[in-house]
Structure 1
Amino acid sequence: MRAFLLLLLIFPVLELFVFVRVSSAIGFFPALLLIIAGSALGVLVMRVAGFATALRARESLQRGELPAEEMFQGLMLAVGGGLLLIPGFISDVLGLLCLLPFTRKLVANRLRRRAEEQAMRQRAFQDDPFQAQPRDSGQRPNVIEGEYERRDK
């Protein structure tokens, strides 16, 4: 929590420092135009990415698959667009990194590996790991479907 608070306090100062350095190198108005162009690109990415993610998710649902990968790609695009919306050069660079396909795949693989490790650790601390075995015998559970009505006297 302290690291997040420290980052929250330092990030605007770093953005301002980088803006002053860039504006002293290329001029104030070109630097300001770059910031505005980055925000406009962020708005465009947010609009297009949301629509494209919804279409890809719908296609994978029609194929009978879970759209986990498509949703993650859409999340990364939304984060990238959001970072582009924030005025500043550091956030723009981070947003552009989120938009690149190979960085999205790299982050997806890292998160998948981390989730698998987490699942393995949780399985290691189960009471009886052999208790929940899948049913291969083809037996159906005893389920009686119906409706009921409660009548109190």
Structure 2
Amino acid sequence: MAPPVNDAPLTTARPHRRRRRVLAVLAVLLLVVPTIEIAVLIGVGRVIGAWPTIALLLVESAIGAWLVRREGGRTWQALSVALTTGRMPSRELADAALVLIGGTLLLSPGFVSDILGYVLIAPVTRPVARRALEAVIARRLLGGFMGGFGPTATRPGAGSTGRSDGPDIIEGEVL
């Protein structure tokens, strides 16, 4: 005789835990990143001096502003072309997001954030950053979708092995 199947919905506190984890990571980043930036600024200032460090930050900011303007314009133009031709602009939207994030990082003073901003904006390194962004988004979307359904889901009361009684079959009609 087969054990009874519990058809209760699968509810977990995942969104609450995820939100807590994101807030904890953000709090740590808000403490750690400025500390690293200040340490790098002091280290560079000790090596090349205070005024050359300030000049280097200003030159770096000017180059970053020029690069953001150029790449932002190219990204906007590519997005417009994709939309007018009726093509799905997924690559262009990812590039626009990377240019926006990179530009924001370039606005903050510091060498570490500027290096990361340049990596996100530069046309040579942006494809690598885009692939990483796509992987994160795919993992988040598929992870959220597969969290309660599909072959990885287990039913409550399915036994200590975690196996279900068989494949989930959802009957329906395709219109």
Question: Is contact 2:98-2:130 (8 Å) kept?
Answer: no
Q: How does 1:2-151 map to 2 (within 5 A)?
A: 2-99=24-121, 100-114=125-139, 115-121=141-147, 124=150, 129-131=170-172, 133=174, 135=175
One-letter amino acid of the structure 1 residue matched with residue 93 of structure 2: M
Shift of 1:112: 4.7
Higher helix share: 1
For residues 57-105 of structure 1, what are the alpha-carbon distances to aligned partners after superposition, in whole Å with 9 as ceiling and x for unaligned?
A: 1111222112121011111012112211211011011112212234223
Instruction: Please report the TM-score for the alignment, with normalisation by the length of structure 2.
Output: 0.64
Cα pair distance change 1:118/1:17, threshold 3 Å: same
Shift of 1:20: 0.6
Cα pair distance change 1:132/1:47, threshold 3 Å: farther
CA RMSD in angstroms, aligned pairs only: 2.4
Question: Is contact 1:49-1:77 (8 Å) kept?
Answer: yes
Shift of 1:123: 5.3
Unpaired segments ≥5 residues, structure 2 = 1-22, 154-167
Shift of 1:39: 1.8
Question: Is contact 1:45-1:77 (8 Å) kept?
Answer: no
Distance of 2:49 and 2:32 partners within structure 1: 24
Cα pair distance change 1:66/1:132, threshold 3 Å: farther
Distance of 1:132 and 1:96 partners within structure 2: 50
Aligned-residue sequence identity (percent) comes to 27
Distance of 2:173 and 2:55 partners within structure 1: 60
Question: Is contact 1:98-1:104 (8 Å) kept?
Answer: yes
Distance of 1:123 and 1:51 partners within structure 2: 42
Unpaired segments ≥5 residues, structure 1 = 136-153
Distance of 2:173 and 2:48 partners within structure 1: 65
Distance of 2:173 and 2:112 partners within structure 1: 49
Shift of 1:10: 2.4
